[in-house]
């Protein structure tokens, strides 16, 4: 059985630059989504091909924001890609603007069957859905679990996907095992369950499991800083994707992503209005480039 430490999902060859479709929203102000994915993946020597699922004036933690749903344009957008003969090595999806956009991602899967599928099922955190997400959207998101090469939910998103009640961030290994097993049974090929925090500890734990693997999920811990920031989930998933496309095994990619987030958060604390604006990742892009 292949373990997370043995699973290498992509191998770089020579000077070839892989192309990855990044299916996320775009925010004009605040650190998240394509604003993180494009620079992080680019720093890893990846040709990022954005597919904007919605446009925001600012991210959803701001009390006032404008959202434009791009669903109506995605068919023509992807038609043009087909006419141009665009080729893809990966499809990395995150925040969606509507339930119908799951269909656009599944279209990409059909048209690029060899592309690696990395699914960050961005729906909520802290036991609550994000304000633009409906029950219909959350239900539709379940359709991306089956066949995902890497699925990266937090505990809230895992609860939504599996139908198991959210139990908080302090869950034991048995709960982690049941959750991961349920996601693998839904068809995910590997799962990275994020954000387990236990009282009195100064670490945040992520758990990694691969379909068909015997034993408990592998634990990967990193330093827990005493504050929360918007955009850290996007930075984690983008760092993970960057490391995977630089040839790191899945466990090493999770370790890299956790360290990247921790280092970026430490820098963010020195920035004005940091708790609202979100994670400042710019100064750690050199660490991403070093993956090459």
pTM of the model: 0.97
**Three-state secondary-structure class, residue 193:** strand
Q: Which residues of the chain are modeled with pLDDT < 70? A: 1
Q: What local confidence, expressed as pLDDT, does residue 104 receive?
A: 97
Please compute Rg for the chain using Cα positions: 18
pLDDT, tens only, 6-24: 999 999 999 999 999 999 9
Domain range 19-284, CATH architecture: 3-Layer(aba) Sandwich (3.40)
Cα-Cα-Cα-Cα dihedral sign, residues 79, 97, 193, 139? negative
Q: What local confidence, expressed as pLDDT, does residue 50 receive?
A: 98
Q: What is the DSSP string of 93-146?
A: E---SSTTHHHHHHHHHHH-TTSEEEE----EETTEE-TT--HHHHHHHGGGTT
CB atoms within 10 A of CB 207: 23
Q: What local confidence, expressed as pLDDT, does residue 72 receive?
A: 97
Q: What local confidence, expressed as pLDDT, does residue 1 receive?
A: 67
Q: Where are the domains of the chain?
A: 19-284
CB atoms within 10 A of CB 87: 13
């Amino acid at each position: 059985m292949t373990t997370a430490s043995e699973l290498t999902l992509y191998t770089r060859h020579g000077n070839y630059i892989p192309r990855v479709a990044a299916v996320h929203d775009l925010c004009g102000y605040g650190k998240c989504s394509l604003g993180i994915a494009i620079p992080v993946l680019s720093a890893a020597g990846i040709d990022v091909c954005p597919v904007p699922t919605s446009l925001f004036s600012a991210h959803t933690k701001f009390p006032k924001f404008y959202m434009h749903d791009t669903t109506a344009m995605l068919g023509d957008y992807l038609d043009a890609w087909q006419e141009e003969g665009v080729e893809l090595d990966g499809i990395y999806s995150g925040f969606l603007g509507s339930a119908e956009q799951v269909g656009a991602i599944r279209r990409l899967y059909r048209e690029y069957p060899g592309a690696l599928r990395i699914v960050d099922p961005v729906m909520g955190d802290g036991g609550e859905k994000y304000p633009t997400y409906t029950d219909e959207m959350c239900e539709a998101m379940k359709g991306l679990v089956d066949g995902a090469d890497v699925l990266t939910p937090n505990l809230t998103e895992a609860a939504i996907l599996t139908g198991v009640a959210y139990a908080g961030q302090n869950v034991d290994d048995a709960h982690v095992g049941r959750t991961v097993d349920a996601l693998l049974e839904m068809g995910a090929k590997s799962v990275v369950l994020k954000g387990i925090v236990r009282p009195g500890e100064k670490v945040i734990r992520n758990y990694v499991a691969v379909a068909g693997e015997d034993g408990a999920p592998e634990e990967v811990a990193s330093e827990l800083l005493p504050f929360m920031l918007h955009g850290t989930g996007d930075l984690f998933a983008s760092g993970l994707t960057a490391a995977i496309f630089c040839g790191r095994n899945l466990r090493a990619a999770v370790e890299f992503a956790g360290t990247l987030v921790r280092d970026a958060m430490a820098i963010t604390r020195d920035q004005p209005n940091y708790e609202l604006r979100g994670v400042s990742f710019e100064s750690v892009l050199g660490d991403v480039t070093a993956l090459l």
